[in-house]
Amino acid sequence: MANQAVSMEPLSARIPSDLYGWLAQLQVEGATTNSDKLRVLLGQLKRQHDGAFDYVAAHAWARDTTARLREALVRTEGRSGRHSEVLNVLLDHLTTSLAMVVSDAPGDEAAAAKLEDALVRRAFALSEALLRQATTVAAAAYDPGVVRRHMAATVELAATISNNQGG
């Protein structure tokens, strides 16, 4: 089936020059010409619309969606020599959570509960990673105080829960 010839249909459209310029400079993996780019992008949009993204494909899509940011961070790190574990943890969480949501369409309560469990597990893993960054005065971040500045309410809630459980 992989070698089956795909019928190609011509498509003609007039688009504003700013969109044409954007498409011309857009980096799309596996595509060099504007026609190639349109084929790839329309294929991605169709799979997304049809709900045909499995988790791995959804994860790749989410990484592609954040590629510009990731590349900018690599350039920033190359210029400054500084790296942000905090920002990388956040991007990883966002990518993974988005992939879970995009690739799932629960058909019943049990499937919805399974998705809920996975998302809550990921959210607590993110909280744990951020709190781990707060164990030192300066987080491994572009702004070393970012975690401590935003953690007070979470720590207070955790202490309240711990006290209410006698722990």
Rounded to whole angstroms, the Cα distance separating 58 from 118 reads 15
pLDDT reported for residue 100:
94
Contact 72, 87 (CB under 8 A): no
Contact 44, 61 (CB under 8 A): yes
Give pLDDT, residue 72.
94
- Phi, psi at 21, each rounded to 5°: -60, -40
For position 54, what pLDDT does the model report? 85
Tokens of 101: 């949501």
- Interatomic CA distance for residues 95 and 128, integer angstroms: 17
- Euclidean distance between CA atoms 74 and 61, whole angstroms: 19
Q: Domain boundaries in the chain?
A: 14-52, 53-164
* Confidence (pTM): 0.74
Give the model's pLDDT for residue 60: 85
Q: From CA 39, how far away is CA 37, in angstroms rounded?
A: 5
pLDDT for position 167? 56
Q: What is the pLDDT along the chain (167 residues), one digit of tens a residue?
A: 455 678 888 888 899 999 999 999 988 877 889 888 888 888 878 877 766 678 888 888 888 889 889 999 999 999 999 999 999 999 999 999 999 998 898 999 999 999 999 999 999 999 999 999 999 999 999 999 999 999 999 999 999 998 888 65
